[in-house]
Amino acid sequence: MAVDKQLALKLLKQMMEIRQFEDKIMELLARNIAEGGSHLYAGMEAVAVGAISVLRPDDYITSTHRGHGHAIAKDGDLKALMAEILGKKTGVCKGKGGSLHLADVSKGNLGANGVVGGSIGMATGAALSVKMRKTNQVVVCFFGDGATNQGIFYESLNIAALWKLPVVYVCENNFYGMSVSVKRASAVEDLSRKALAFDMPAETVNGMDVLAVREAVGRRVEEARNQFQPSLVVANTYRYYGHSRSDPRVYRTREEEKFWKERDPIPNFASRMIEQGVLIEQEVTELEEQVRQSIEEATRYAIDSPWPEPEELYTDLYA
């Protein structure tokens, strides 16, 4: 797949935004400016960015407990996202959702989810809806390797395959569900095999390579859009931080972490683009700096934003 400069810059920028956003949140957590849990997406950027890059603005995604990356890639506003994570009134969910519930239905992001597997049914229903409404939209449903052991994962894939729904299930296989490795949690290590139970097309892709993800998901999205063919794409990737702030990562080795960090999706993509003459070094450096500034701005905005008013405790419950 040929990549032009504009696309290369877009992909690179989004991945940098996610990485720096997550690094910033780690910092804010350490400084007790951000409170509560935050499951960070750093390391996995190529999956969200590659997959969402093939979507139309009106296509839908559903996300996970590790949802910052998806939200940013689905045209999320950095300020509103950062403010949401701090629980501010200016947050994309008015401070009521937080990291675990980042959502922006107007942009087709049906939301992060605190429940592992919790949005797989919803994604399937959105796909039914677009098919019934004949809008030609597609749904991309993100979830982790751990989520493939939840009942609703199977129930949903069965329905999608049976009813021929335009949904692409993207499994972000980072080899662990919290501390439990895929080997210790799943009878099959090759998670794409789970689609065999539903005669659903499936494949595994290098989730550290944004173009590989883009290519695979792009193909699947077109099948979904044009033939109502659902599919499963397993993207092998890695999370850099612990599962959550307090995780000492005893369940994995530092060698393994090193192995994956050597495959970092951002510098690898950048140098490939430079090698191929699509970008030049300076553009990359400038982009990085530009992203740094927008993250700083978003952070300042979020920190300076007001808290929700006490009355807001009771608003937004019923329509």
Partner 1 sequence: MREISYRQALNEALNEELVRDQTVFIAGEDVAIYGGAYGVTADLWKKYGDERVKDTPISESAIVGVGLGAALTGMRPVVEIMYIDFIPLALEQINNQAAKIRYMFGGKCTVPLTIRTEGGAGRTLGAHHSQSLESWLIHIPGLKVVMPATPYDAKGLLKSSIRDNNPVVFIEHKMLYNSKGPVPEEEYLIPIGQADIKRQGRDVTVITYSRMVLFSLQAAATLEKEGVSVEVVDLRTLLPMDIDTIVASVRKTHRVLIVEEDCKTGGTGAEIGMLIMEHAFDELDAPVKRLAGADVPMPKSPVLEKLAIPDPERICQAIREVLQ
Ligand X SMILES: Cc1ncc(C[n+]2csc(CCOP(=O)(O)OP(=O)(O)O)c2C)c(N)n1
Which positions lie near Mg ion, rule CB under 5 A? 144-146, 174, 177
146 makes contact with ligand X (CB under 6 A): yes
Beta bridge partners of 61: 109, 140
Could you say which of 144, 207, 218, 265 contacts ligand X (CB under 6 A)?
144
**Residue whose CB is less far from its own copies, 103 or 191:** 191
**Residue whose CB is less far from ligand X, 44 or 284:** 44
Could you say which of 20, 46, 55, 60 contacts partner 1 (CB under 8 A)?
60
Q: Are 149 and 186 in contact (CB under 8 A)?
A: yes
Pick from 49, 38, 39, 64: which is nearest to 15 by CA? Answer: 49
How far apart are the C-alpha atoms of 117 and 124, rounded to whole Å?
12
Q: Are 79 and 296 in contact (CB under 8 A)?
A: no
**Binding window for partner 1 (CB under 8 A); candidates: 48-56, 70-78, 146-154, 218-226:** 146-154
48 makes contact with ligand X (CB under 6 A): no
User: What b-and-e string marks burial along 40-75, b requiring 16 or more CB atoms within 10 Å of the CB?
Assistant: bbbbbbbbbbbbbbbbeeebbbbbbbbbbbbbbbbe
Cβ 291 to its own copies shortest distance, Å: 41
174 makes contact with ligand X (CB under 6 A): yes
Beta pairing, strands 176-177 & 180-181: antiparallel
3-state secondary structure 2-33: CCCHHHHHHHHHHHHHHHHHHHHHHHHHHCCC
318 makes contact with partner 1 (CB under 8 A): yes
Cβ 259 to its own copies shortest distance, Å: 25
Site string for partner 1, 217-256 (x = CB under 8 A): ------------------------------x--xx-----
**Residue whose CB is less far from partner 1, 35 or 304:** 35
90 binds, among Mg ion, partner 1, its own copies, none (CB under 5 to 8 A by kind): none
